[in-house]
């Protein structure tokens, strides 16, 4: 998906940009097609060759990509990372995408959001995979979003963060809320603490028990989860309705997130962006590419 935003459309381009095995790239492209995120379009008849085009569902993931970029710029400390100069073409200014409330345009903080259970709330069935977890070293050559992907790209870590943002912060409560196995929960909590996304404090009045709290780095993941929540409500809705109802306390309106330009405060659309890539190592700079899909 990252490679698509950087202009990859053909199979060999995805392989080259990600550095992944052809079998892995082929499998992921097929999954995106099955989930109505990509379509395969012929660009040559003799020989017959194809490229991949993002559907409306896929393009609606652009706010998530911007939210991830916002987090990575603020919190990643990885050396030799890819740097992106993003330009908002309507105002022609270099921009930092900011998560704002669609109603009042204020930057979103989870401290300013209240919530209640919606009609579509439910617990996911805990299914387990034997596949080995991907490490940072097995990620893409671009290394732009590797650090945030290690967190929000893992289903169990994301469920733990959802629990914490909902005010659930003790081991047994998180276990019941997420439905995962105890060893997986213990493992992910340890990893999130090592990543400095969480920290622990003693439960008042009972020093034998601990609570997990979000660091500022962890709180910064909130806009990413909001974009995923809104995407799911739109494209994978529960028949009963949304699982969560969020209110932005600063304006009292139902919370809808928008990734806005830091220069003009207008929404950043996929068709209104251009970017230049710079890899801070011996490979030097890449040419600027259009961010339009």
Residue 236 carries which DSSP code? S
Determine the pLDDT at residue 144.
67
Topology (CATH) of 60-290: Arc Repressor Mutant, subunit A (1.10.10)
Global pTM value:
0.86
Determine the pLDDT at residue 245.
92
Check whether 35 has a pLDDT greater than 60: yes
pLDDT above 70: percentage of residues in the chain: 85
pLDDT tens-digit series, residues 129-148: 544 444 444 444 445 677 88
**Any idea which of 53-57, 136-140, 172-176 has the lowest mean pLDDT?**
136-140
pLDDT tens-digit series, residues 251-292: 999 999 999 999 999 999 999 999 888 765 533 334 444 444
Determine the pLDDT at residue 124.
54
pLDDT above 90: percentage of residues in the chain: 63
Contacts made by residues 280-287, CB under 8 angstroms, sequence distance 24+: 280/79, 280/80, 280/81, 280/82, 280/83, 281/80
- Please determine, looking at this structure, whether the domain spanning 1-55 carries the CATH number 1.10.10.10: yes
- The segment(s) of the chain belonging to CATH 1.10.10.10 are 1-55, 60-290
Determine the pLDDT at residue 132.
42
Determine the pLDDT at residue 293.
43
CA distances from 26 to 14, 21, 37, 40, 141 (A): 9, 9, 14, 12, 17
Nearest to 145, CA basis, from 258, 221, 199: 221
Torsion sign (Cα): 132, 136, 137, 140: positive
For the chain, give the number of residues: 293
Nearest to 154, CA basis, from 216, 210, 197: 197
Check whether 98 has a pLDDT greater than 90: yes
């Amino acid at each position: 998906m990252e490679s698509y935003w950087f202009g990859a459309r053909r199979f060999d381009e995805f392989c080259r940009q990600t550095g992944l095995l052809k079998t892995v790239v082929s499998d992921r492209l097929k999954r995106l097609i099955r989930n109505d995120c990509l379509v395969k379009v012929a660009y040559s008849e003799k020989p017959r060759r194809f490229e991949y085009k993002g559907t409306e569902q896929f393009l609606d993931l652009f706010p998530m990509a911007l939210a991830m970029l916002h987090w990575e710029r603020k919190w990643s400390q990885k050396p030799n990372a890819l740097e992106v100069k993003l330009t908002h073409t309507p105002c022609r200014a270099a921009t930092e995408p900011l998560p704002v409330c669609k109603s009042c345009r204020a930057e979103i903080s989870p401290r300013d959001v209240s919530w209640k259970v919606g009609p579509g709330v439910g617990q996911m069935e805990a299914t387990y995979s034997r596949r080995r977890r991907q490490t940072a070293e097995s990620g893409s050559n671009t290394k732009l979003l590797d650090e945030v992907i290690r967190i929000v790209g893992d289903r169990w870590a994301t469920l733990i963060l959802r629990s914490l943002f909902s005010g659930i912060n003790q081991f047994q409560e998180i276990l019941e809320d997420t439905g995962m196995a105890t060893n997986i929960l213990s493992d992910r909590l340890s990893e999130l603490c090592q990543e400095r996304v969480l920290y622990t404090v003693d439960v008042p009045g009972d020093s034998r028990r601990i609570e997990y709290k979000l660091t500022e780095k962890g709180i910064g993941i909130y806009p990413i989860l909001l974009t995923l929540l809104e995407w799911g409500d739109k494209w994978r809705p529960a028949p009963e309705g949304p699982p969560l109802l969020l209110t932005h306390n600063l304006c009292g309106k139902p919370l809808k997130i928008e990734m806005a330009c830091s220069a003009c405060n207008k929404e950043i659309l996929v068709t209104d962006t251009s970017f230049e890539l710079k890899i801070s190592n011996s490979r030097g700079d890449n040419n600027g590419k259009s961010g339009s899909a």
